[in-house]
């Protein structure tokens, strides 16, 4: 499909927010095009660790509702992990008590319990079985699902959301919304990861540690993803060797078998943080509709499907 051909909705942004929104719309019979500056494999979403859990995403009440809806979807996808990149995996949320999650997630997370001292020697933690998404497989699968539903993907850089010509535009540009909207409330939170050979670890661990330093160990197919950082207002996408060494050191303190694991890759992503997610519909002076769906912080994967369904409803009402 060429860009000049008609569509009902244009989705701008090829990360997980844009792809899921486009899939929801296309599978409801809407004619959809998706414009993305970068191939899905090079979006910020591609760098995400992929563990389902609300992180740096507000307002929390809405985020929990979006997350629980997304949990429903991911649980279904986990029946075909080799295809979708989604599987259910067990692990420990460190420095977390049952009281922190009972009120909203306990009913949906069977097996949620306190971690034993053997499972998490560093202190209190919660043992949980959560979706763990391999983004290197999941994003291309979403793209193919969208195309199979009749959608079209185009490599396009948008400089003005109001001049696309489409009757409805859904803005899923993440950090790009800072300049494109413009919305100075959108700010980067830099995350650095180290990918190493997996020495046999099968469960994940997330810890904030006594000093508040973030550490997580996520077993993905053929590798182990180690994180991370949360540097506010940091724009550099170049890996910092000293930061990488600190990440490996913190993760090895959690799982000693990581020490000496061969490093495969270094990755950096800029989370699109905002005081609250912007998910709203506006009508332009000429009557066309602009729907915003951005500002998901570190929770884009976690809330993707809940936000996508709400954005789709706003785009088609």
pLDDT in tens, 27-55: 999 999 999 999 999 999 999 999 999 88
Percent over 90 (pLDDT), the chain:
89
Q: Answer yes or no: is 299 a known binding residue.
A: yes
Cβ(120)–Cβ(215) below 8 Å: no
Q: Answer yes or no: is 302 a known binding residue.
A: yes
Q: How far apart are alpha carbons 264 and 132 in whole angstroms? A: 20
Q: Answer yes or no: is 45 a known binding residue.
A: yes
Q: Answer yes or no: is 145 a known binding residue.
A: no
Q: Which domains does the chain have, with CATH numbers?
A: 1-85+134-186+275-317 (3.40.50.720)
pLDDT for 211 equals 80
pLDDT digits (tens, 9 = 90+) for 244-281: 999 999 999 999 999 999 999 999 999 999 999 999 99
Q: Answer yes or no: is 164 a known binding residue.
A: no
Q: Answer yes or no: is 298 a known binding residue.
A: yes
Split at pLDDT 50, 70, 90, the class of 59 is very high
pLDDT for 4 equals 53
Two structure tokens written together for 94:
């460190």
Query: Regarding predicted confidence, which is higher, 212 or 287?
Result: 287
Q: Answer yes or no: is 69 a known binding residue.
A: no
Query: String of b and e for 168-182 (b: at least 16 CB within 10 Å)?
Result: bbbbbbbbbbbebbe
Split at pLDDT 50, 70, 90, the class of 5 is low
Asked whether the predicted pLDDT for residue 3 surpasses 70, the reply is no
267 preceded by a cis bond (ω within 30 of 0): no
Other C-beta atoms closer than 10 Å to the C-beta of 243 total 17
What would the mean pLDDT of 90-112 be, rounded to a whole number? 88
- For residue 275, give the nearest of 181, 184, 208 by alpha carbon: 184
Contacts of 176 (CB under 8 A, 6+ apart): 13, 37
pLDDT digits (tens, 9 = 90+) for 120-174: 998 899 999 999 999 999 999 999 999 999 999 999 999 999 989 899 999 999 9
Q: At what angle do helices 300-316 and 16-27 cross, to 10 degrees?
A: 40
pLDDT digits (tens, 9 = 90+) for 180-220: 999 999 999 999 999 999 999 999 999 998 788 899 999 99
Q: Answer yes or no: is 212 a known binding residue.
A: no
- 87 forms beta bridges with 132
Q: What is the DSSP letter of 240?
A: P
Two structure tokens written together for 210:
């006594």
Q: Answer yes or no: is 44 a known binding residue.
A: yes
């Amino acid at each position: 499909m060429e860009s000049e051909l008609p569509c009902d909705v244009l989705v701008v942004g090829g990360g997980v927010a844009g792809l899921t929104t486009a899939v929801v719309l296309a599978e409801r019979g809407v004619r959809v095009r998706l414009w993305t500056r970068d191939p899905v494999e090079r979006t910020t979403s591609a760098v995400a660790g992929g563990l389902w859990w609300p992180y740096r995403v507000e307002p929390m009440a809405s985020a929990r509702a979006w997350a629980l809806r997304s949990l429903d979807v991911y649980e279904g996808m986990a029946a075909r992990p080799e295809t979708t990149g989604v599987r259910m995996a067990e692990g420990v949320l460190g420095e977390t008590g049952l009281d922190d999650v009972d009120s909203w997630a306990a009913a949906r997370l069977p097996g949620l319990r306190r971690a034993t001292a053997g499972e998490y020697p560093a202190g209190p933690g919660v043992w949980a079985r959560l979706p763990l998404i391999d983004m290197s497989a999941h994003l291309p699968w979403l793209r193919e699902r969208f195309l199979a539903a009749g959608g079209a993907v185009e490599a396009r850089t948008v400089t003005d959301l109001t001049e696309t010509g489409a009757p409805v535009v859904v803005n899923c540009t993440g950090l790009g919304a800072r300049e494109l909207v413009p919305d100075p409330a959108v700010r980067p939170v830099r995350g650095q990861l180290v990918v190493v050979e997996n020495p046999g670890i099968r469960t994940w661990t997330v810890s904030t540690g006594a000093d508040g330093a973030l550490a997580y160990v996520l077993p993905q197919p053929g590798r182990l993803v180690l994180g991370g950082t949360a540097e506010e207002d940091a724009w550099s996408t170049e890996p910092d060797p000293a930061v990488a060494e600190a990440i490996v050191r913190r993760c090895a303190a959690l799982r000693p078998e990581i020490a000496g694991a061969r490093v495969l890759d270094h990755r950096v992503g800029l989370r699109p943080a905002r005081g609250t997610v912007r998910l709203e519909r506006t009508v332009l002076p000429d009557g066309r509709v602009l729907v915003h769906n951005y500002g998901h912080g570190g929770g884009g994967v976690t809330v993707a499907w809940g936000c996508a369904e709400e954005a789709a409803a706003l785009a088609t009402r």
